[in-house]
């Protein structure tokens, strides 16, 4: 029989069977993924084969993953933790106030998701409290990211504004929800699926670093179809085998121009006849996107992408 892993505690897994029944299972044998050392062989979102034994259910096989996101362990073991697998899309929740999400963070997230082949939808939350200036900024940012190719939605989770639009995007898909602490992820998920009753917290409450490190992702079924994966404490994904020279491929508006650079290994920094720099000077590519590119290019410590708190 087959099922989908909706929760893992490390030794036990909750699996939703095809008949929608939920069972606890353990694993038998060893599962390895080529190329990476992981601390967890089975992750939320994995499609698994199970067999029923006298006492319990046992996972005997894992289907090849369509994609997965990892978090690199900070200790010396260099092992990675698979946060979730088989994701259709990421919802990046951002706010232009209380707290401010900077484009440095947004772009790092988008580039990471591109590298994992996960489409991202940018969800601007808390529009109910934006000032006129912030509303202008919202319009500008939405236009820029839409032009690049990202779907953008402006909502208020608290006032339940534009939630239907978001539900349409989420319907029948498996979405992973990410964003800074305090942007309203729990509020949004509760508003979309009230039976979840996730704990929300005042943004003034400080979140000590490492507090969430042992929290595992969890998958919830949506009443209107689809799943969401909540990743408590994970602000962004870690990257594996990230080749700096390929960074500009993940900036979608740069990717389109790469063939026009004079040197085919152009890094778009100080090479002559660079199509990217030319596009920045004409305004075709936004300067802040280019600056974020340079900042990611020069910042080769992967940990910095993740925990700097952009």
Known binding-site positions for Zn(2+): 261, 266, 268, 274
Calpha distance 7→16 (Å, rounded): 9
- Dig out the tokens for 204 from the structure: 């003034």
Nearest residue (beta carbon) to ligand GTP: 184
Q: Is residue 187 part of the contact set for ligand GTP (CB under 6 A)? A: yes
Question: Pattern 127-166, binding to ligand GTP, x per CB under 6 A?
Answer: -xx--------------------------xxx--------
Q: Which residue has the tokens 């509020």?
A: 187
Q: Is residue 181 part of the contact set for ligand GTP (CB under 6 A)? A: yes
Calpha distance 108→165 (Å, rounded): 25
| Residue closer to ligand GTP, measured from CB, 192 or 274 | 192
Q: Which of 185, 268, 289, 306 binds ligand GTP (CB under 6 A)?
A: 185
Q: Is residue 184 part of the contact set for ligand GTP (CB under 6 A)? A: yes
| Residue closer to ligand GTP, measured from CB, 185 or 268 | 185
Residue 296 CA, chain-centre distance (Å), reads 17
Query: Which partner in ligand GTP, Zn ion, none is near 183 (CB below 5 to 8 A by kind)?
Result: ligand GTP
| Residue closer to ligand GTP, measured from CB, 15 or 191 | 191
What are the φ and ψ backbone dihedral angles of 8, each rounded to 5 degrees? -140, 140
Known binding-site positions: 125-128, 179-187, 261, 266, 268, 274
Q: Binding segment for Zn ion among 80-88, 143-151, 239-247, 273-281 (CB under 5 A)?
A: 273-281
Q: State in angstroms the smallest separation of the CB of 300 from ligand GTP.
A: 27
Q: Binding segment for ligand GTP among 9-17, 39-47, 184-192, 214-222 (CB under 6 A)?
A: 184-192
Interface residues toward ligand GTP, by CB under 6 A: 125-126, 128-129, 156-158, 179, 181-187, 200-203, 207
Interface residues toward Zn ion, by CB under 5 A: 261, 266, 268, 274, 276
């Amino acid at each position: 029989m087959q099922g989908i892993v909706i929760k893992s505690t490390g030794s036990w897994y909750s699996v939703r069977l095809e008949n929608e029944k939920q069972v606890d299972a353990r694993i038998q044998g060893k599962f390895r993924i080529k190329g990476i050392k992981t601390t967890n062989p089975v992750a939320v979102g994995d499609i698994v084969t199970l067999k029923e034994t006298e006492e319990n259910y046992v996972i005997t096989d894992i289907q090849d993953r369509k994609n997965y996101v990892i978090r690199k362990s900070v200790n010396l073991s260099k092992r990675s933790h698979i946060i979730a697998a088989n994701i259709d899309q990421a919802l990046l929740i951002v706010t232009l106030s209380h707290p401010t999400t900077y484009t440095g963070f947004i772009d790092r997230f988008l580039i990471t998701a591109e590298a994992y082949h996960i489409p991202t939808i940018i969800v601007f939350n808390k529009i109910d409290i934006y000032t006129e200036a912030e509303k202008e900024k919202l319009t500008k940012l939405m236009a820029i990211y839409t032009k690049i190719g990202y779907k953008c939605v402006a909502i208020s989770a608290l006032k339940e504004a534009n939630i239907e639009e978001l539900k349409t995007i989420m319907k029948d898909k498996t979405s992973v929800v990410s964003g800074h602490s305090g942007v309203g992820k729990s509020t949004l998920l509760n508003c979309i699926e009230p039976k979840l009753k996730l704990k929300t917290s005042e943004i003034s409450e400080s979140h000590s670093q490492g507090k969430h490190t042992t929290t595992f992702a969890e998958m919830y079924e949506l009443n209107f179809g689809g799943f969401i994966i909540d990743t408590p404490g994970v602000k962004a994904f870690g990257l594996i085998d990230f080749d700096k020279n390929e960074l500009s491929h993940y900036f979608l508006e740069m990717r389109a121009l790469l063939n026009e650079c004079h040197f085919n290994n152009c890094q778009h920094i100080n090479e002559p006849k660079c199509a990217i720099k030319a596009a920045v000077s004409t305004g075709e590519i936004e300067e802040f996107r280019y600056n974020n590119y340079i900042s990611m290019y020069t910042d080769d410590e992967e940990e910095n992408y993740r925990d700097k708190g952009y």
